[in-house]
Chain A
């Protein structure tokens, strides 16, 4: 039967449908809904319900979950995109030219009619308290270090499925051909912190003191003091994902 013929038929209404047909139709509808529900529960993407305001800690947390609780404050308006941080990171962590562990984004904002302000925004792994990348990794190759909260990689376990790359809200991961594994920022844990250095390579290389690295649970640290300065506005990137990032941004 052609569609044009169907259109000529009189609408019979649903009251004349046999109950068996109605039931099977409802069943079909329910199974479709079920697929959607299951899909969002098992979703490999980072999309979640909007959580509204920035939660610094999960509601039930009474203290910082890690010690030291590594964090970085980025004083955005001081960045001039000299990219010494990128160079230092690549050199320290053997980052190939086609990838990055940290980079600088560029934006323009109109400050008044005809006048634009250039903004450089350093980005890196946010070492989230609820990392979407860790949640989706099928082999537990990426994990949250229980002591420091650093999101780390076990390269030997990585099968290169790149699901973590899709899940990361911050685009902070790349596939490193040399390792046949995904690589990412680990706050220079193996290359600097383990040997007693107090700062990451990027923070140490910054000539403008943009990146301040430290222990957020230590009230004497610079990161703690910056975050707890009442007159300063601090923000995080993509708070709506509910990932609870540990990279904070502020101006000066």
Chain B
């Protein structure tokens, strides 16, 4: 083995090491970014129960996945304090159609329109009960 060949083999092994390093570090960065509540907001989903039961909102979908900043919504569209929107009389679908609350973005331009795909957000009483732990049985006593 002459010097040239030795050098080439060394170059190859460096390349392989670099590749391995990239796969290890890069893979982790792409695959499993840690959810940081300070950056992306509370991890637990928010469930609205007024005026109808029940509507689900997850910060992760809107911040980490869709790339919104905290001040995209807070505090102009929604107060940070939990339950504050539900206390307003105008927290209704009509307000959303008028461009308030979720309707600020869910207008058919920025995001899907508020009068479409209802059950993406509306999880219903059944979804609510599941979140509270275990669905209520609703069969006619299981008699048939």
Given A84-B52, A207-B52: A118 and B123 interface contact (C-beta under 8 Å): yes
Interchain CA distance A198-B28 in the complex, whole Å: 63
Asked if A162 lies at the interface with its beta carbon under 8 angstroms from chain B, I say: yes
Given A120-B119, A207-B52: A83 and B144 interface contact (C-beta under 8 Å): no
> Which secondary structure characterizes the binding site on chain A?
mixed
Q: Which residues of B contact A79 (CB under 8 A)?
A: 118
Q: Which of B3-11, B57-65, B70-78, B124-132 contacts A (4 or more CB under 8 A)?
A: B124-132
Number of interface residues, chain A, beta carbon within 8 A = 27
Asked if B53 lies at the interface with its beta carbon under 8 angstroms from chain A, I say: yes
Interchain CA distance A102-B5 in the complex, whole Å: 82
Given A119-B119, A120-B124: A83 and B53 interface contact (C-beta under 8 Å): yes
Closest to A174 in B: B140
Within 8 A of B (CB), among A192-212: 207-208
Q: Are A80 and B119 in contact (CB under 8 A)?
A: yes
Interchain CA distance A83-B138 in the complex, whole Å: 12
Interchain CA distance A165-B143 in the complex, whole Å: 9
Given A100-B138, A106-B124, A120-B119: A80 and B144 interface contact (C-beta under 8 Å): no
Q: Are A165 and B126 in contact (CB under 8 A)?
A: no
Given A83-B53, A119-B119: A171 and B127 interface contact (C-beta under 8 Å): no
Asked if A54 lies at the interface with its beta carbon under 8 angstroms from chain B, I say: no
Asked if A239 lies at the interface with its beta carbon under 8 angstroms from chain B, I say: no
Q: Which residues of B contact A208 (CB under 8 A)?
A: 118
Q: Are B144 and A81 in contact (CB under 8 A)?
A: no
Interchain CA distance A165-B140 in the complex, whole Å: 10
Asked if B141 lies at the interface with its beta carbon under 8 angstroms from chain A, I say: yes
Q: Are A175 and B52 in contact (CB under 8 A)?
A: no
Asked if A117 lies at the interface with its beta carbon under 8 angstroms from chain B, I say: yes
Q: Are B144 and A165 in contact (CB under 8 A)?
A: yes
Q: Which residues of B contact A174 (CB under 8 A)?
A: 140-141
What's the minimum C-beta distance from A80 to chain B, rounded to whole angstroms? 4
Q: Which of B51, B126, B143 contacts A104 (CB 8 A)?
A: B126
Asked if B106 lies at the interface with its beta carbon under 8 angstroms from chain A, I say: no
Q: Which residues of B contact A77 (CB under 8 A)?
A: 118
What's the minimum C-beta distance from A43 to chain B, rounded to whole angstroms? 16
Asked if A78 lies at the interface with its beta carbon under 8 angstroms from chain B, I say: yes
Q: Which residues of A contact B141 (CB under 8 A)?
A: 98-99, 174-175
Q: Are A81 and B140 in contact (CB under 8 A)?
A: no
Q: Are A118 and B119 in contact (CB under 8 A)?
A: yes
Q: Which residues of A contact B122 (CB under 8 A)?
A: 80-82
Q: Are B124 and A82 in contact (CB under 8 A)?
A: yes
Asked if A103 lies at the interface with its beta carbon under 8 angstroms from chain B, I say: yes
Given A80-B52, A80-B118, A120-B119: A100 and B140 interface contact (C-beta under 8 Å): yes
Q: Which of B117, B120, B125 contacts A83 (CB 8 A)?
A: B125
What's the minimum C-beta distance from A26 to chain B, rounded to whole angstroms? 39
Interchain CA distance A117-B112 in the complex, whole Å: 14
Within 8 A of A (CB), among B31-54: 51-53
Within 8 A of B (CB), among A151-171: 162, 165-166, 171
Q: Which residues of B contact A207 (CB under 8 A)?
A: 51-52
What's the minimum C-beta distance from B134 to chain A, rounded to whole angstroms? 15
Given A82-B52, A166-B144: A103 and B119 interface contact (C-beta under 8 Å): no
Within 8 A of B (CB), among A88-125: 98-100, 103-104, 106, 117-120
Asked if A173 lies at the interface with its beta carbon under 8 angstroms from chain B, I say: yes
Given A83-B124, A106-B126, A207-B52: A78 and B140 interface contact (C-beta under 8 Å): no
What's the minimum C-beta distance from A170 to chain B, rounded to whole angstroms? 12
Name B residues whose Cβ lies closer than 8 Å to a Cβ of A. Answer: 51-53, 117-120, 122-127, 138, 140-141, 143-144
